[in-house]
Amino acid sequence: MKSPAEYLAPHVFEARRPRRELQPVVGYADALRAVEQALADAEKYKYLLMRALRRHADEVAATTVPTVLQPETPVLPMYPAGLPLVA
């Protein structure tokens, strides 16, 4: 994945402000183009990541064998039959 500076690198030129040294400058249109390219790459990476996660989930589901839990102690009713519920 590219860093933000790598998207802007081809669009940078140097300009001199009055009585100052050269400074790197990026034009507005070039900056917009770099942002659009970065968003397109992000969509591509998102698609690839989601596809890999789905594939991994499918592989894990295929290798996992469902186990049936058997209780170790019997389950008893809270109120045995024949007793009144209200005292």
Per-residue model confidence as pLDDT tens for the chain (87 residues): 677 778 777 777 788 777 788 888 888 888 888 889 889 999 988 988 999 999 988 888 777 756 666 667 777 777 777 766 665
Widest CA span of the chain, in angstroms? 100
The DSSP 8-state label assigned to residue 14 in this structure reads E
Please give the Cα distance from 12 to 10 (Å, whole number). 6
- What is the length of the chain? 87
Q: What is the b/e burial string over 31-66, where b = at least 16 CB atoms within 10 angstroms of the residue's CB? A: eebbeeebeeeeeeeeeeeeeeeeeeeeeeeeeeee
Whole-model pTM? 0.50
Q: Both tokens of residue 74?
A: 């019997």
